[in-house]
Amino acid sequence: MKNVVRVAILTCVLLAAATLAHAEGVWRLRAALGQSISDNAGRGSAVELAICAPVGEGIALGMESGLCYLRTAAVRSSYVVTAAGEPGRALSSLTDGITRHRAFFLGPMVRWGSTVHLLASYGMIDVLDERGSATAFIQGASVGVGLGRMRHLEPSAELRLRMASDHPFSSLASESGTSLTFTVGMQL
């Protein structure tokens, strides 16, 4: 419950700042696809959607959501999907993150900079195992660097470290994991 309150407070701050951005009238939607590598073995796909607007010189606030491959330390594979041959194995690794061991994330984000920019986000992550069963609803954060301007139909790329834990900043975490994601996309 404490985590939901944190996300609600951050969302209220974001909405308050959005009134300034609304006056500017420059909201940008970013859609991106890419790859995600988990620290607990494996790699898969990443799909992201983010909407943000400038609120000051070089600072933008917004919301982001998406799916990425994130295997938490508490999840142990007991269900194995076999693919026939190399093409099937390559295809299954590309769809992991959408079909298996996916983490759905949603939360506010901040962007600093123009063409080369820094990113940070905080939110809730719904972690699912290889069967699609929920294993945890935990808090998460991301930090990263991106390349691309906030202009209409401008390409962009981002490299992020996504972290999730049921007890952040503590050694008591029973469910935690990190993934490195690289996505390319387009500002719409």
The predicted-structure confidence for 35-47, as pLDDT tens digits, reads as follows 988 887 778 888 9
d(CA 143, CA 80): 32
Determine the 3-state secondary structure of 70 from DSSP.
coil
The pLDDT assigned to 180 comes to 92
How far does CA 12 lie from the centroid of its chain? 20
* Phi, psi (rounded to 5 degrees) for 25: 75, 25
The pLDDT assigned to 50 comes to 92
Token pair listed for 14 = 């974001």
The pLDDT assigned to 158 comes to 95
Extract the residue ranges of the chain whose pLDDT is less than 50.
21, 23, 75-85, 88-89, 91
d(CA 180, CA 85): 27
**What pTM was computed for the model?**
0.73
Residue-range definition of the domain harbouring residue 92: 2-187
Burial call 67-81: b when 16+ CB within 10 Å, e when fewer: bbbbbbebbeeeeee
CATH number of the structural domain spanning residue 130: 2.40.160.20
d(CA 99, CA 96): 5
Domain count, the chain: 1
Quick one: which of 130, 138, 112, 109 has its CA closest to 48?
109
